[in-house]
Amino acid sequence: MNNSAACRGVGINRRTGIRWRYGRTVTSADNESRSYPPLAAPKRDVSVRYLSEDERITLADAVEAALRALRNHPRRSSPGARPGLGWVRRPSCMPWSTQC
């Protein structure tokens, strides 16, 4: 949203919006200067909807460890596979069989 649209949304003059945005210094009739700091945009906190970088790294490490554990698990290989021999058809150990 640009400055003009923001000023229209708030209901102020565009020039006033520029003064608020950049700040200003006013000198009174008795030569006293009064400074108005610029209005800073509020700092955005990390939304609870999204994970922070630390949480993402922790989650990635946990997923990697779980995958590593699954890769080394003895039941990972299917019942019909034998290391080094390729696939061997074993009808008694088909997915619908209860004998495995």
Domain boundaries, the chain: 3-36
Does 58 score more than 90 pLDDT?
Answer: yes
Give the model's confidence band at 31: pLDDT under 50 very low, under 70 low, under 90 confident, else very high.
confident
Task: Enumerate long-range contacts of 73-77, CB under 8 Å, 24 or more apart.
Answer: none
Match 């922070």 to its residue by tokens.
52
What's the CA gap between 59 and 24, in Å, rounded? 48
pLDDT in tens, 3-25: 899 899 999 999 988 888 888 88
Helix, strand, or coil (residue 1) = coil
Q: How far apart are CA 6 and CA 13, in angstroms?
A: 10
* pLDDT of residue 82 exceeding 60: no
**pLDDT given for residue 28 in this prediction:** 85
